Amino acid sequence: MTPSRQWRSLQGVWPFRREIVQKFVDSLDFEYLRRIAEATRGNSAFSAKVHKHPFSAGRERLVFQIEFSDGTLWVARVTLPPLPAAQDDPRLLPCPDAAVMLSEVATIRLVSSETSIPVPQIHAHAFQTNPFGAPYMLMDEVAGQFIRPFPSTPIQDIPHVYSQVAEIVLTLAQVTFAKVGMLTENAAPHNRVVSKCLFHDLTVGHAFSTATEYYTMRFRRFLTQKKKEVPPDDDWVVFAWLCLQSIPYFILIDLDEGPFPLSHPDLNNGNILYDEQNTIVGVIDWTACGTFPWEIAMSPPLDLVYFDERRTMYIDIFEAKEVEITGTNRFASFMRSPRARIVNLINENFEAYGRMFPIQRALELAMLVFGEDITWGDVKMRYKESEEGQLAGP
């Protein structure tokens, strides 16, 4: 079974975006893409067909299947233009630029060459203006299927999955670089360096030599962004400030200066493919992957361990795998600590909430930082006092 069997075309797109996405698809030159696929494969005996339907739709990408006459299957990952964040929301979600997409290529190739993690082979890409009409990447279609959403996956099927995810996390953590940021390739083939850092809004800045510098810059940017919104939302501003105050409560000082591990920060049901025995056959979507502070690499993947029962099971299984591979249980010990919960809270994708403020998560973070008796009103007062005292961060 291939992932394309589960694609839903426009049915997988938010209704308020469907017209925009359809116009975008209609604007693309699929005949050009077909010729590029045939030329890339380099075997004139096999013709190619690009299937416009069904396609897969994500926040930033569409994926189309390319079928060769001998049965070989590729996919074209096509970058969307910026789309509305939510209905009745004037913001446009950011999209990866050419540097970000080239980093994804470098990351996938590194993982393929230096680890046993199954990733699709990349055959071609074009990220600047081109006749197809959008940035694209041609790669293998992995023969596998997505597992059922984890909250509804039978509990007996989970341990096998968790053990494999643990091995992926631990394997990536063995590949380290001196700085926090995204991978790039310099003039020498396969000579990968980290010189830039990708932030959550997909903007690019300089790489960081310490985890503290990374977190401080990230949350100062978050705070500045929330202050500039019109009209500003006091709750969001205070939450961004709270993220900044939380740094001393989760940072691991002995790991602050690296080296820093490679990490896939979005290991979830939509980015892992399985065979019929729930064995992982492919890890996909390496956009925004790179090197991260250890606190992020060591935190449980939220989408796989959302409920307390599953979180406990994941950590127990992870610990057994970690001891087997490394002889230590440092990752598992961190996961059981309040530090890991803080990292999960500050790493959530808050864009998913749209205009709705996640008060319960904000209050949970405040209690982990300031104590269980704190109220959100107390936090807002502390923020006001810190602003008046010009104390913008730790």
* C-alpha count within 13 angstroms, C-beta hemisphere, residue 274: 18
State the Cα–Cα distance between residues 138 and 73, nearest whole angstrom: 10
Show me where the domains of the chain are located: 3-91+123-140, 150-388
Instruction: Give the CA diameter of the chain.
Output: 73
* Alpha carbon 159 to its chain's center: 23
DSSP string of 81-122, one letter each residue: PP-BSSTT---B-----HHHHHHHHHHHHHHHHHS----PPE
The answer to whether 288 and 132 are in contact (CB under 8 A) is no
Task: State the CB neighbour count (10 A cutoff) for residue 45.
Answer: 8
Separation of alpha carbons 272 and 166, rounded Å:
13
pLDDT at 114: 92
Please report where in the chains the tokens 């299984």 appear, as a residue.
317
Q: How many residues does the chain have?
A: 394
Half-sphere exposure of 377 (CA within 13 A, CB side): 0
Question: What residues contact 210, with CB distance under 8 A and at least 6 apart?
Answer: 180, 256, 257, 258
Phi-psi region of 258 (alpha: psi -120 to 50; beta: other; left: phi over 0): left
Fold of 150-388: Aminoglycoside 3'-phosphotransferase; Chain: A, domain 2 (3.90.1200)
Contacts of 270 (CB under 8 A, 6+ apart): 58, 146, 285
The closest of 271, 348, 336 to 308, measured between CA atoms, is: 336
What whole-number distance in Å separates Cα of residue 322 and Cα of residue 300? 13
Q: Are 136 and 78 in contact (CB under 8 A)?
A: yes
Tens digit of pLDDT at every position of the chain (394 positions): 677 778 899 999 989 999 999 999 999 999 999 999 999 998 778 999 999 999 999 889 999 999 999 999 999 999 999 988 777 777 788 888 999 999 999 999 999 999 999 999 999 999 999 999 999 999 999 988 887 666 667 778 889 999 999 999 999 999 999 999 999 876 555 678 898 999 888 889 999 999 999 999 999 999 998 899 888 899 999 999 999 999 999 999 999 999 999 999 888 878 899 998 889 999 999 998 999 999 999 999 877 877 778 889 999 999 999 999 999 999 999 999 999 999 999 987 665 555 678 899 999 999 999 999 999 999 999 999 987 655 444 4
Q: Which helix (H) or strand (E) holds 274?
A: strand 272-274
